Chain A
Amino acid sequence: MKTLQPPYTSEVIAAHGLTDAEYARIEAHLGRAPTWPELGVFSVLWSEHCSYKSSRVHLGRLPTKGPQVIHGPGENAGVVDAGDGLVLVFKMESHNHPSFIEPRQGAATGVGGILRDVFTMGARPIALADALRFGSPDAARMSHLVKGVVHGIGGYGNCVGVPTVTGDVMFDPEYDGNILVNAFALGVARKDGIFLGRAEGIGNPVFYVGSKTGRDGIHGATMASAEFGADSEAKRPTVQVGDPFIEKLLIEACLEVMSTDVLVGIQDMGAAGLTSSSCEMAARSGSGLVLRLDQIPMRETGMTPYELLLSESQERMLMVCRRGEESRLVALVARWGLDVCEVGTVTDTGRYVCTWHGEVVVDVPIGALVDDAPKYNRPMAAPPPMPVLDLDALPVPHVGAAMTEALLSLLARPTIASKRWVYRQYDHMVRTGTVLRPGQGDAAVVRLPETSRGVAISVGCNGRFVALDARRGAAMAVAEAALNVVCVGARPLAVTDCLNFASPERPEVMYSFSEAIDGLAEACLAIDAPIVSGNVSFYNETHKRGILPTPMIGLIGLMDDASRAVGQAFKEAGHEVFLLGKGDFGLGGSEYAALCLGALQGPAPSLDLAAHRLLLDTLLTLHEAGLITSAHDVSEGGLAVCLAEACFEFGVGLVATVPTTGARPDVLLFGEGPSRVVVSTQDGDRLIETCRFAGLACRRLGLTGGDVLSMRLAPAGHSDATTTLFDAPVSRLRDSWAEGFEQALKGARDPASVGPTTQETEP
């Protein structure tokens, strides 16, 4: 890249993602024009990705405190108390833009980055999860993107030896131009072994550890802070390339170094590379830094200070060492075959100074870079209301064969179909701690090392409901993640978020962002699970068309005895099945409506957070009493899909009877909404009694057994006068569900055959 001298043209300033006003502010801070490397440094640190300039004014409304919180947002990852002297360290982060440009490396480096955020804090990573959003499977490049992303996640996680234990994959045409790749990592550390990104102790040496610096990923953070246009292909060089083998060595080397007393602080080089890691460390400590850029290990010849500062080469760490312990640090790291060299010194000047063969090339106040970064309260405007679904225009499928066909079609939708094709490519068992594997439970459960306890993990967010009502939809994402964790028997502990939105420069996007923040806040307060880490990803739009607003949630919970984790499938014949909770549901925003209409229409179902909390608490009481043999929340695809999924793992069928309520059968079967769970039990009487005592709605659906799933309608009190809604062998339903994902990727499914056979008749 050519080195330029001031004065810079408007084109050069714009190419750095800076507005003219922002550039003027830089000159005001410095009292002169910035040097070329300084311009680069401001450009990345003031990018949306690093500075949160559009979101900061809203993020303060999130609840981040609680007795369990040890470190909330602001550190590399959130830290919560897990008891027994252990802490859980976790975070979720987006890698959307790079993954769209180059799916394999984009997704792989997303995993690498989130792992570094966790082990940087002194934690041993024990689990990964991924929430992915793709466009319509037949959209341009989409099957390539799906395969590349899954390949990238697997290739990285498998090699570093951290199990990918759960995930969430949804497809919607609104993600055609911008896919989402949100990677989650969880680690465990001793409470007294947490490390922070601090540059303290005047005169302490700063060390560079890990891979050499190359020219990859230069301006990655700036790229992730702009929408896509016709030039996205040209942005490929801004995507980093990962090396999971080096990451594995880095994990072991860092954890070994952190088990000694040679370090003062440590920080990974993530977005904006060396620049952000070094500035953040100094800013947190109120110190200053001098970096000798010519000392940095370089992969390529002829690299300039500008490139060294902005490179996003992967698998690199910055460490501040105690003066006098340098040789110990070098010996510890060198044992792992990694580069380690002294590149700078901590100062008390409050300035960020970089030299190049003795010449000062950067000299700026750190406050200007980090604390005085622009902060915008961008204009907001409520978007026009979403269209409301006209039920009368939606034909009711015939009960019987047509209803079965509708269910088969839904089960084959890639959003609902088995994700085995995905998780079979991820090592989900390494580290011998995976108690509930992908697909077995509503949440994954991993053993809390050296204890008999378990940690449950759930990630997800249904962006359709957020698009229909941002506040309610965001709250529903938290509510569902909490319910998933409670279904397996764990108590919600804390939340990380990854807020994926379109351009903040559009008032309606900013409005939905602000509403979503309030929805998250309400729901997190209602379930006593604060948000301890997260990230914001704006500019997820292409040609001015934005994604579904998707505030992705990662929620963890704890359970006392991991061996009591409960799966989602009916275990054997003779168990009674109940529907718990009385949540609102309908076809607005449902997968069934997407199948039939191909368009998003509302309204979103309503959410009663107090009722939801009651459901969570009562379900935990039922777990503690050992009354639950399976639990599965009603989500995409509604009650019929929920019941079908519960039949699959062990091939146990069910004849379910639901009372006639006047609701249309398609609404009853496929309607979606929060706060409903299907459970099975060996002791129905005690379950009913517990629910009655708690005041929780509880309806008996039937008895497990046989190899058929059947749903019937019966007038209240007349269980013999039933109408059969559908009746299908479990194996037939399972085949459709098991093959749907791959079929969708192959495009083998004839679009004309998708959708229920409909007729204008009432049952």
Chain B
Amino acid sequence: MTRFAVISFPGSNCDDDCVRVVNEVVGETGYKVRHDERTLDRADVVLLPGGFSFGDYLRCGAIARFSPIMDAVRAFAAAGGPVLGICNGFQILTEAGLLPGVLRRNVGLSFICEDTFVRVEGRQTAFTNGLEPGSVLKLPIAHNEGNYFADDETLNRLEGEGQVVFRYCTERGETGLPGRPAAPNGAARDIAGVSNVRGNIVGLMPHPERCCEPLLGGVHGRQLFDAVLRTIAGDGGPL
């Protein structure tokens, strides 16, 4: 069984959802690891879930990155272990310097909860291993700070290195339509998710764990979990 450690910070609120999906839908072992612990308990995969860690006071993820468990997460990632940050988890990874860029307030300044479409692109990462480049996934977002930002030089470099792994798009996979930004939150170049150079750390704003069952209106999120299982099994991928 592949072991998924789900990091639980004070204020994380999608930790139970991630554990549940791993255990009951994907059929592997999911368990929570508290922010104040120091080891990941034999994790094969680390998930940083969504929520409002430490209330998102100060700046999203800015306090969580100092949690004792983050040393273990850094070490795990440095050894090439697959780490996925979802929503607040993505924000924490950028604050921790494990992923480039920052997440700013949504343009329009309001929280947005709705289904979005994202296009799979960039390099093969631990969580997109085996996904068809250019394929379109329907994944829901729920955030107030998902407006991805980095300077042009960084954005060019990310695109050049294939580190932009998910881009908001239309249902048919289009981006850059005149007068119609695909990103609902104002994200630079419609970026919904990025990876590190090595491809073992991925962060994205949409919530794959919310769409792994037909009952909840979508199953595309399952593809990220299946991808990392392929990666762990050594079936292609970056590791």
Listed in ascending order, the chain A residues whose CB lies under 8 Å from chain B are 151, 154-155, 158-161, 243-246, 248-249, 336-337, 423-435, 437, 447, 562-563
- With a cutoff of 8 Å between Cβ atoms, the chain B residues found around residue A336 in the complex are 10
New A-B contacts (8) at CB < 8 Å, excluding given A426-B111, A429-B216: A158-B52, A159-B56, A161-B13, A244-B55, A245-B52, A424-B112, A433-B216, A434-B216
* B binding-site residues for A, Cβ under 8 Å: 10-11, 13-14, 16-17, 20-21, 50-52, 54-57, 110-114, 140, 142, 144, 207, 209-210, 213-217
Considering the chains assembled together, what is the distance between the CA atoms of A428 and B115 in angstroms? 11
Bound-state CA distance A434–B144 (Å) is 20
Q: Note all chain B residues with C-beta closer than 8 A to A431.
A: 16-17
| With A161-B51, A430-B142, A562-B215 as contacts: A425 and B13 at CB distance below 8 Å | no
Measured CA separation A244–B57 after assembly (Å):
11
Contact B113 A245 (CB under 8 A): no
- Is A425's CB under 8 angstroms from B14's CB? no
Inside 8 A of B112's CB, which chain A residues have their CB?
A: 424-425
Cα distance, A160 to B16, chains bound together (Å): 13
Which 3 residue pairs across A and B have the least CB separation, nearest first?
A161-B13, A245-B55, A427-B142
Q: Assess whether B216 is in contact with A159, with CB atoms less than 8 Å apart.
A: no
Residues in B neighbouring A426, C-beta threshold 8 A:
111, 113
Secondary structure of the B contact surface, majority rule: mixed
A429 to B51, Cβ gap below 8 A?
Answer: no
Within the assembled complex, what's the spacing in Å between the Cα atoms of A430 and B55?
Answer: 16
Q: Residue among A160, A248, A425, A432 with the most chain B CB within 10 A? A: A432
Residue contact A430 to B215, C-beta cutoff 8 Å: no
A sample of 20 inter-chain contacts (CB < 8 A) reads: A154-B111, A159-B56, A161-B13, A245-B10, A245-B52, A245-B56, A245-B57, A248-B13, A248-B52, A424-B113, A425-B113, A426-B113, A429-B207, A431-B16, A432-B209, A432-B210, A432-B216, A435-B215, A437-B217, A563-B214
Residue of B nearest to A248 (CB): B11
Which of A248, A337, A423 has the most chain B CB atoms closer than 10 A to its own CB? A248
Question: Which one of A155, A337, A430 lies within 8 Å of B13 (CB-CB)?
Answer: A430
Distance from A340 Cβ to chain B, minimum over Cβ atoms (Å) = 15
Which residues of the partner chain A approach B17 to less than 8 Å between Cβ atoms? 430-432
* A241 → B minimal CB distance (Å): 13
- Point out the residues of chain A lying under 8 angstroms from B111, CB to CB: 154-155, 158, 424-427
Does A432 lie within 8 Å of B55, measured CB to CB? no
Q: How far is the CA of A574 from the CA of B119 in the complex (A)?
A: 33
Residues of B within 8 A of A244 (CB): 52, 55
Q: Which residues of A contact B215 (CB under 8 A)?
A: 435, 447, 562-563
| Contact of A424 with B20 in the complex, beta carbons under 8 Å | no
- Whole-angstrom CA separation of A616 from B65 in the bound complex: 54
Q: Which residues of A contact B207 (CB under 8 A)?
A: 429
Give the residues in chain B near A562, CB-CB below 8 Å: 215
Would you call A161 and B14 a contact (CB within 8 A)? Answer: yes
Enumerate chain B residues within 8 angstroms of A154, measured Cβ to Cβ. Answer: 110-111
User: Once the chains are docked, how many angstroms separate the CA of A563 from the CA of B210?
Assistant: 16
When the two chains form their complex, are residues A423 and B113 in contact, meaning their CB atoms are under 8 A apart? Answer: yes
Query: What B residues does A563 contact at CB under 8 A?
Result: 214-215
Residue in A closest to B54 when the chains form the complex, CB atoms: A245
Bound-complex Cα distance A159 to B21 (A): 21
